[in-house]
Chain A
Amino acid sequence: MRLTSRSAKHQAKLDLPLTSMIDVVFLLLIYFIVTSSLIETERELDPGIKVQRATPTSAADLAPAVVDVVRGGPGFVYRLGGREITSAAELRSVLTQFENKIDGAFVRVDDDAPFDMAAIAIQACKDARFLTVSYVPLSAAP
């Protein structure tokens, strides 16, 4: 698109009003800059999947680090080795102190638990630098 230069044959003065076009273009540009900054960045957690089979298993089968997101008291809690934890910060702190990070961590989530808590538990295990983190559904249904 040649807007400014003209061939020698057509030397007649071309009065192309650019101002309004530039106004519109700048407005559109500002609109897109603003709206695109409103789109929030998504990231991912990538836990492995483990499903408990019909044979009854205990937490020890999934040792060493098993975080249960289960009902406890008035709401849901993180249960780790018989200890009930209510806050994400405390869970992260306890998991960080685990010595064996090589065998991974397991997050077992009750069907009724808030999904938010499951994600927080997985994140806490990742933050505590467990080599692998597995998601284990605690479903009543088969």
Chain B
Amino acid sequence: MRFNKRARGGALGMNMTPMIDVVFLLLIYFMTAMQVKSVSKEDVELPPLAGSQEQSESSLTVNVMRSGEIFVNGNPLTVPQLASLVGDELARVDNEPSRVSVVVRADRRGRAGPVNQIVSALERFDIRRVNIGVQEPRP
């Protein structure tokens, strides 16, 4: 593409400013969108399912690796440590379990044992709902 040279030498009144504005805006949008991919999410292979709802904002994202290890915000935790974290989160929202939203992102290739332990721990705090992360299958 030749923007600034013309064979006939006539002055070309091509205004670059709006194009550059738009391109920079798009660039900033994509850079920001990339950053939104939260650090709380580990690289796990989620079950390829349609799910029942869009991704919601969670107060706690629990990653369960294929090996059964539990990670929260990049830190490996045991189930009692996770329970303590849930307790802290609950205290932060005036001990109202309905205000704590937990997303469990478990690797599809792993066993259900760690998820069962997490769910049981949540139930002890009277948290009655858990969001299970799934990956929308590609069309």
Contacts and interface: CB of A to CB of B under 8 A. Distances in A.
A33 B120 CA distance: 42
Interface string A25-40: 1101100110110011
Interface residues of B, number: 53
Contacts of B136: 40-43
B12 to A, nearest CB: 12
A119 B49 CA distance: 8
A48 B4 CA distance: 63
A115 interface: yes
A50 B128 CA distance: 7
B134 A111 contact: no
A122 B132 contact: yes
B106 interface: yes
Contacts of A113: 111-112
B15 interface: yes
B51 A111 contact: no
Contact of B51 (A48, A123, A137): A123
Of the candidates A26, A115, A116, A137, the one having the most CB atoms from chain B within 10 angstroms of its own CB is A115
15 contacts: A32-B34, A33-B30, A42-B55, A43-B51, A44-B52, A44-B133, A46-B53, A50-B123, A109-B116, A110-B112, A114-B110, A115-B47, A119-B49, A123-B47, A135-B119
